[in-house]
A and B are shown apart, each in its own frame.
Chain A
């Protein structure tokens, strides 16, 4: 056990922190207010090598590993949550293409994603297949040198911006359902995006539905083997969950930091709010839970970096961090009182933004299923 970062990881933290504080945080309210995609923020991240952190340098990535990635994502989300999720999805897609893609696929997609020339999207969810991901109905039928895709995907982050989307589709229904993964490129005939969803929070992120109508995807764009798709998307989600835990911590951290400075300034009954135990309790609980969340997220990232299975660790980090972060944002609004409810202060935005972290990339309920299944099979480890 050693609870310190490497020099390089600490440097990345400082660099991203300063970027997020100077360039992202000042615009976060405006991005939220206008539901504006923070294109310029993503470009900055690309310039600094922060969109290909899990991809080796040979493919244009910065190869910093999952620990550094978690730390960076936390800092970005602390400045702007919408920018954070854009960064998270592109990194996760890059990681997945690197892990499961052919040499040719890696060369074709990864450098562009890392450089910001094209972001990535991950298309698994469908109108009728949320937590029940295996229940997807988009189909891919082989036809000559291509697969013909039909179906629709919903709630796809980066959906309208992505140069390439990892799309899960059914390649065999009987006797045993089989899912395969495809790399579908923007502009492919028969592939279209719906209009942006209007959301509770994370308003700057691009969330759309995707439709596939007789969409021909060349066979060379199949990711992994036929039938390997479900394993690929589940592995991708393990990594993605570490990212969402980090995002949640970043958002909550911004909220608690605002609450601490507000509690110091705001006077009631003749003294600063921070002198009251009722307020101190809320701050202490948030800080304690966020510290624990941070350690769980780093542990999961560490396991990912050092190889081996980290499914349970990722689920533990994700459910704990997203729920602790939600409680922390909720308390922050409470510390602000009436002002916390007003858009003039950032905490109501943090509360709206944080809610999704206990929903996407596997709801809290799905994380608990994963953890409980592991417990029943292997006991507490």
Chain B
């Protein structure tokens, strides 16, 4: 079917936020405006990891928004998570991605696939923000083709021995814990991939030097090199061969976070451009009076609205345990591309000032670009969506 239909239910459709969702919006907005936004330019300029903000966010329960309270999280729903992501990202996209990786890519797979013991040992510190997590899937030779893992895990008694290199890993330099993927059976291709929970302090784990990036400069991105790293069997996540499924499941959720991050960047682009357009005078009047500028503003707002609804829908389906692979791909694809368009318009409205680092518009543009790439490129999202359409 060309259009995803809303299911019929017992209750009525609602397009208003719940009390809890409104509360977290207010809280995250307040925190982001007061604590995060004033630092965003400096964080970007100096590529500094915002350790103090991460600590503060942990105090607010933002490191494990949708993780049940018994496992150290805030016990809220995934729309709350998307809302929190958007608000933090609106202030600083780098800070937001640190949050998103911890919530979606570290906590969620352990919550969904971990044993009770793993949840106690690893999830509780991650969700409460005492530890920071990262996600080791991408390799130099395995980007969109995530199934072609070169990292190996060889069984040795009650241990596995891991060797290989992971690439472009967000949070790697600061992370305590990594949800990591390695090949346990090459013959089986992607069905031979297994997931592990890696304590980053284990012997043989080296973090490469931090990448210099176009944007999200304050988030740390580095490679992880594994040389004969011994991981005990208890730290295997799920069964042998289940890794690819776990990775894909995890990315479905992660895409909700990235969609929300993109919406935050788009909103920053819009709100900054709107404020500028009302102040800046040319030809004797504020440029907001000109239709050329109004068109850009209207399109940004319209597309942000659309992206938000797609994102909330995916989050709602995740909470309801309905299938949401296609829906989260749509949200991620649309939100990231809308953010890119919004950030270009944001610069254009600022004119020359938009190109200058004194104004935030050029940072939004640099930050927006990554959302079309990580956690599945736009091209991978379109593949996922098309295959769902053609399967129906």
Give the interface of A toward B (CB within 8 A).
1-7, 9-11, 13, 67, 249, 252-253, 256-257, 260, 263-264, 274, 277, 280-281, 283-296, 298-299, 302-303, 306, 316, 319-320, 365, 367-369, 371-373, 375-376, 379-380
A371 to B293: give the CA distance in the assembly, Å: 12
User: Other CB < 8 Å A-B pairs besides A257-B1, A287-B330, 19 of them?
Assistant: A2-B13, A4-B9, A5-B7, A5-B12, A6-B12, A9-B12, A256-B2, A280-B386, A280-B390, A283-B385, A291-B327, A298-B13, A306-B16, A371-B301, A371-B302, A372-B298, A373-B294, A375-B274, A375-B297
Q: Which of B290-346 contact A (CB under 8 A)?
A: 291, 294-295, 297-299, 301-307, 309-310, 312-313, 316-317, 327, 330, 333-334
User: Chain B interface residue count: which class?
Assistant: 35 or more
Check B46 for interface membership: any CB of A closer than 8 A. no
User: Are A3 and B313 in contact, with the CB atoms below 8 A?
Assistant: yes
Q: Which of B1-20 contact A (CB under 8 A)?
A: 1-18
User: Are A376 and B8 in contact, with the CB atoms below 8 A?
Assistant: no
User: Are B382 and A281 in contact, with the CB atoms below 8 A?
Assistant: yes
A277 to B386: give the CA distance in the assembly, Å: 9
User: What are some 13 contacts across the A-B interface (CB < 8 A)?
Assistant: A2-B316, A6-B12, A13-B8, A249-B3, A281-B382, A283-B386, A284-B382, A291-B3, A298-B13, A365-B291, A368-B294, A371-B297, A375-B298
Check B278 for interface membership: any CB of A closer than 8 A. yes
A10 and B8 in contact (CB under 8 A), knowing A2-B316, A277-B383, A302-B14? yes
A292 to B313: give the CA distance in the assembly, Å: 10
Nearest-neighbour CB distance to chain B for A18, whole angstroms, equals 14
A319 to B295: give the CA distance in the assembly, Å: 12
A4 to B10: give the CA distance in the assembly, Å: 9
Check B270 for interface membership: any CB of A closer than 8 A. yes
User: Are B11 and A6 in contact, with the CB atoms below 8 A?
Assistant: yes
Nearest-neighbour CB distance to chain B for A135, whole angstroms, equals 18
Nearest-neighbour CB distance to chain B for A14, whole angstroms, equals 9
Check B79 for interface membership: any CB of A closer than 8 A. yes
**How would you classify the secondary structure of chain B's contact residues: helix, strand, loop or mixed?**
helix
A367 to B381: give the CA distance in the assembly, Å: 30
**Which residues of the partner chain A approach B307 to less than 8 Å between Cβ atoms?**
292
A199 to B162: give the CA distance in the assembly, Å: 69
User: Are B271 and A380 in contact, with the CB atoms below 8 A?
Assistant: yes
Nearest-neighbour CB distance to chain B for A238, whole angstroms, equals 16
Specify which of A11, A256, A277, A380 lies most central, judged by the most chain B CB atoms within 10 Å of its CB.
A380
User: Are A287 and B389 in contact, with the CB atoms below 8 A?
Assistant: yes
**Which residues of the partner chain B approach A1 to less than 8 Å between Cβ atoms?**
14-18, 21, 79, 312, 316
A297 to B2: give the CA distance in the assembly, Å: 16
Check B99 for interface membership: any CB of A closer than 8 A. no
**Which residues of the partner chain A approach B299 to less than 8 Å between Cβ atoms?**
368
User: Are A6 and B13 in contact, with the CB atoms below 8 A?
Assistant: yes
User: Are B7 and A4 in contact, with the CB atoms below 8 A?
Assistant: yes
Nearest-neighbour CB distance to chain B for A105, whole angstroms, equals 31
A368 and B6 in contact (CB under 8 A), knowing A1-B79, A380-B270? no
A371 to B10: give the CA distance in the assembly, Å: 34
**Which residues of the partner chain A approach B270 to less than 8 Å between Cβ atoms?**
375, 380
Q: In the complex, what residue of chain B is closest to A279 when comparing beta carbons?
A: B386
User: Are A260 and B389 in contact, with the CB atoms below 8 A?
Assistant: yes
Check B255 for interface membership: any CB of A closer than 8 A. no
**Which residues of the partner chain A approach B7 to less than 8 Å between Cβ atoms?**
4-5, 10
User: Are A284 and B334 in contact, with the CB atoms below 8 A?
Assistant: no
User: Are A5 and B9 in contact, with the CB atoms below 8 A?
Assistant: yes
Check B288 for interface membership: any CB of A closer than 8 A. yes
Check B369 for interface membership: any CB of A closer than 8 A. no
User: Are A372 and B310 in contact, with the CB atoms below 8 A?
Assistant: no
Partner of B15 from the list A9, A11, A298, A371 (CB cut-off 8 Å) is A298
Check B236 for interface membership: any CB of A closer than 8 A. no
Specify which of B9, B11, B267 lies most central, judged by the most chain A CB atoms within 10 Å of its CB.
B9
A252 to B312: give the CA distance in the assembly, Å: 24
A48 to B270: give the CA distance in the assembly, Å: 45
User: Are B385 and A299 in contact, with the CB atoms below 8 A?
Assistant: no
A367 to B295: give the CA distance in the assembly, Å: 10
Nearest-neighbour CB distance to chain B for A78, whole angstroms, equals 9
User: Are A287 and B385 in contact, with the CB atoms below 8 A?
Assistant: yes
Specify which of B10, B11, B274, B298 lies most central, judged by the most chain A CB atoms within 10 Å of its CB.
B298
Q: In the complex, what residue of chain A is closest to B338 when comparing beta carbons?
A: A292
A287 and B8 in contact (CB under 8 A), knowing A3-B316, A371-B298? no
A299 to B309: give the CA distance in the assembly, Å: 9
Q: In the complex, what residue of chain A is closest to B293 when comparing beta carbons?
A: A372
**Which residues of the partner chain B approach A260 to less than 8 Å between Cβ atoms?**
2, 389-390
Nearest-neighbour CB distance to chain B for A269, whole angstroms, equals 17
**Which residues of the partner chain B approach A9 to less than 8 Å between Cβ atoms?**
8, 12-13
Q: In the complex, what residue of chain A is closest to B16 when comparing beta carbons?
A: A1
Specify which of B3, B17, B305, B390 lies most central, judged by the most chain A CB atoms within 10 Å of its CB.
B3
User: Are B310 and A291 in contact, with the CB atoms below 8 A?
Assistant: yes
A253 to B3: give the CA distance in the assembly, Å: 7
Partner of B2 from the list A6, A287, A299, A380 (CB cut-off 8 Å) is A287
Q: Which of B335-392 contact A (CB under 8 A)?
A: 381-383, 385-387, 389-390
Nearest-neighbour CB distance to chain A for B379, whole angstroms, equals 8
Nearest-neighbour CB distance to chain B for A379, whole angstroms, equals 7
User: Are A292 and B310 in contact, with the CB atoms below 8 A?
Assistant: yes
**Which residues of the partner chain B approach A263 to less than 8 Å between Cβ atoms?**
390
**Which residues of the partner chain A approach B312 to less than 8 Å between Cβ atoms?**
1, 3
User: Are B389 and A7 in contact, with the CB atoms below 8 A?
Assistant: no
